[in-house]
Amino acid sequence: MRPETKGAGTSMDEEPILSVNNLAVSFDTYQGEVQAVRGASWHLWKGETIAIVGESGCGKTVSIQTVLGTNPKGVGRVKSGEILFHGENLLEKTEKEMRAYQGNKMSIIFQDPFTYLNPTMTVGDQIIENYRQHRKATRKEAESRVLEIMRLINMPSPEKNMRRYPHQLSGGMRQRIMIAIAIICGPEILFADEPTTALDVTIQAQVIDLMNELRAKLNTAIVLITHDMGVVANMADRIYVMYAGKIVEHGTADEIFKGSAHPYTKGLLGSVPRVDRKTDKDLYSIRGSPPDLIAPPPGCAFAARCRYAMNICVKTEPEPVNLGDSGHFSACWLNHPAFIRKASEKQGTEARHG
Amino acid sequence: MGNDKLLEIQDLKVFYRLDAGVLKAVNGLSLAITKGTTTGLVGESGCGKTTLGKSILRLHKPDEGRILFKGRDIWTLDRKERKQFHKEVQMIFQDPYASLDPLCVVSDIIAEGMDIHGLYSGSERRNRVLELLRLVGLNEGHANRFSHEFSGGQRQRIGIARALAVEPELIVCDEPISALDVSIQAQIVNLIKQLQKKMNLSLLFITHDLSMVRHISDQIAVMYLGSLMELAPSDSLYETSYHPYTKALLSAIPVADPEVERGRKRILLAGDVPSPINLGEGCGFSARCAYASEICVSIRPELREREPGHFVACHNVDIINQ
C-alpha cells in the first residue's frame, strides 16, 4: 500500500476513513467485458476534500457507485479489491446492510438535480423521507430539523420553499435541496458527482462556496468527481487523476496544478483556456480519444494519445512512481528512475560533446 | 468596426406568447458581425442566446426589428434569394448525437447540402466529400460509415464538415463544444479557429463558457435576459469590463490554479436569473444588481460607447467604475 499524505487540516497519524484498494469493476455486455475500473486505489481522510478527475468513461462514477453499493447487481461485477470504511469491507455487505450507510454515513449529490428529485413530492417531504429512514423522529421533529438544514444551506424563506415541488424551484435551488437531502443525517462522506456541471457559472459559484462552507462547518469529507479543473482548484485538497479505469497521477492540489508529472494530467490542464490569461496560440490538445475498455491496450492506456510515447509504453504498463515523500505519484515511464538516469546521462554526454 | 458588415441585427425583438404571459426571449438587441471575424455570444441559460441564433438563420420571425444579411433584410428575400441565403449561412449544433441522421452514411450527411444547391455531382461530389473529411481531421475510410460508429468529437467534426460543404460565409455555432469532453473540446475549438482563418469565415460562437470564448473571439457580446449588457473587443472585455453583470460573470469562473483562486475575490450574485416571462420595463439585471437605483427599474439602459468599440448598457456605469 502506498502511503499518501492527507490534505490540509488533517493529521498524519489517523487512519483514512475510506480506503479503496485495487478495485476492479467490469460490466458484461454483448460485445464483451467492459473493464470500467481496472485496479484503482484511493484513500480519504476525515474532513478533507479529494477530487477524482477524468473524462467521461474513465471509471470515476462507477468507482463511487461501487463504494456506495448502488451498482446494479448482475450488471456491474466487482472483480477484485476491497473498500474499507473504518476498517470494514463494504463489498462483503448485503444490499440490505448497505442501506444503513446510504444517505446516512455516506451520501451523494448528482449532476442533474431535476432528474433525481421526485416530481410528485414536495422538496420538504423528500428531505424528511431520508431523515426518517435513518433516525427515529416524529414528523414534527423531522420538520424542525429540515428547517434547520434549509437555513444551513442558505435557502431563502425555508418555510415556504419546503412546501414547494421541484418544478417550482430553479436549478440552483434544486441543487441546494439535493445537498440538504444528502447532509441531513450528518454523513461522514459526501460524494459529489459533477455537482455543478448542469449549472450556470454564477450559480456554480454559489454552490461551490456552499459546499466549502458546509465542509468547514460539519467536518464532512468530500469526494468530488468532475472534469472541470477550475472547480477542482476551488475545492480539492488532493487530486487523483483517472484514465481508462486507473489512477495515473495523485498529488496535493498544488503539486498537480504546479508540477504535474503525467502527460495526461498536463494535457488536461493545458486544454482548458484560462479566463485570466490571453493567448493567441492554439490550445494544447490531446489527440485522439480514450481507448476502448473492452480490449484495453497491453501497455500504458494513454500511450496511443501521448506525444512522448516510447517503445516500452506500448508494451509494458508503467507502475506508479513516487515523486518525493509527499505521496505525489505518477504512473508513467518518463518518471521512472531508470529513464530519468538515462536521460540525464544522455544530456551529460551531449553537454560534453557540445 | 469598418463598413463591411456581413450581418446586422437592428433592435431585434422575438417574443413567445405563452399561457403565462409574454416571454421576451430577445428584447431589443442590436449587433453587427464584420466579415471574417468571430463574435462570441455569452450568457447564462435562458438568456435568449439560442433564440437569437435561430433568428439569424431565419427560423424565428422577429416581432420587431430587422436582421440584415449583406445589407438585405432576410425577411424580404424572394424564394431564390432565400435559397442562396440558406447556403451562405450555416449552423453547427450543440448535440452531435441528435444532429446527424442515423440512417445516412457520413458522405450523404455531408453532401446533402451540396445536392440541394446543385454544387457538385458524380466524382466531383465524391472528391469534395473526401476533401472535407480530411479538412476536419477525419479520413477517407470514414465516408461510408454511419454516425453511431463515431465518438462525440468525431461527430462534431462531421457536423463541421457538413456546414462547410456549401461554402458558407457565416456560421452560427450554437454551443458546439459543451457536449464534449475537455480534451476533445480543445481539439474542436482549435479546428474551428484554424478553419475560420483559412477560409475567412465569419462566426457567431454562442456559448456559456467564458474562458473558451475569449480564446476564439474577436469581439464578445454579453447577453442577459434578452438584451446585450456589454459588447467589446475580446481582450478589452477581459481586461476592463464595465458592466456589473460582466464583472460578476467573469469573477464566477473558477480558474484552474489553486494559488490564483486563493487570492481571487469573487463577486457573488444573489439568487437566480429571474423568469423572462412578463419582464418589467427596466434593466433586466436590476433585480440582482448591487448598484441598482430607481432609474434601473423603470427605464431600460441603451448600449452606449464608453471606449472605441466597447459598449455598455448601464445607467450607473460611471458610478460603478469610478
Contacting residues of B for A283, CB less than 8 Å apart: 186, 189-190, 215
Best of B183, B235, B246, B264 to substitute, by most chain A Cβ atoms within 10 angstroms, is B183
For residue A25, with 0-12 CB atoms within 10 Å meaning exposed, 13-18 middle and 19 or more buried, which class applies?
buried
Contacts of A56 in chain B (CB under 8 A): 181
When pLDDT is cut at 50, 70 and 90, the band that residue A112 belongs to is confident
The DSSP string of B53-99 is HHHHTT-S--SEEEEEETTEETTS--HHHHHHHHHHEEEE-S-TTTS
Cell numbers given for B43 = 450568457
Flag whether pLDDT at A1 surpasses 70. no
CB-based contact, A198 to chain B, within 8 Å:
no
Q: What average pLDDT does the segment A201-206 reach? A: 88
Whether A235 shows a pLDDT value over 50: the answer reads: yes
Rounded to an integer, what distance in angstroms lies between the CA atom of residue A46 and that of residue A280? Answer: 44
Task: Note the pLDDT tens digit of each residue in A269-280.
Answer: 888 888 777 777
Greater confidence (A71 vs B145) lies with B145
> Mean per-residue pLDDT for A259-268?
92
Q: Is B32 exposed, middle or buried (0-12, 13-18, 19+ CB in 10 A)?
A: middle
Q: Among positive and negative, which fits the CA dihedral B184, B187, B193, B195?
A: negative
> Which residues from chain A sit within 8 angstroms of residue B251, using beta carbons?
205
Which pLDDT band, with edges at 50, 70 and 90, does A191 fall under?
A: very high
pLDDT band at B272 (very low <50, low <70, confident <90, very high): confident
Distance from CA of A342 to the nearest CA of B (A): 31
Radius of gyration of chain A (CA): 22
- Residue B235 contacts A where some CB pair is shorter than 8 Å: yes
Query: What pLDDT score was predicted for residue A4?
Result: 53
Interface predicted TM-score of the whole assembly (ipTM), two decimals? 0.79
> Would you say residue A13 has pLDDT above 70?
no
pLDDT at position A9 is 44
Q: Is the pLDDT at A221 greater than 90, yes or no?
A: yes
Mean pLDDT of chain A: 88
For residue B45, name the pLDDT band (cuts at 50, 70, 90). confident
Q: Which residues from A are below 8 Å from B248, CB to CB?
A: 202
- Rounded to two decimals, the pTM is 0.86
Query: Is pLDDT at A267 greater than 80 in this prediction?
Result: yes
**Parallel, antiparallel or unpaired: strands A329-330 and B38-42:** unpaired
For the stretch B295-308, pLDDT in tens is 999 999 999 999 99
Q: How far apart (Å, rounded) are the C-alpha atoms in residues B118 and B111?
A: 10
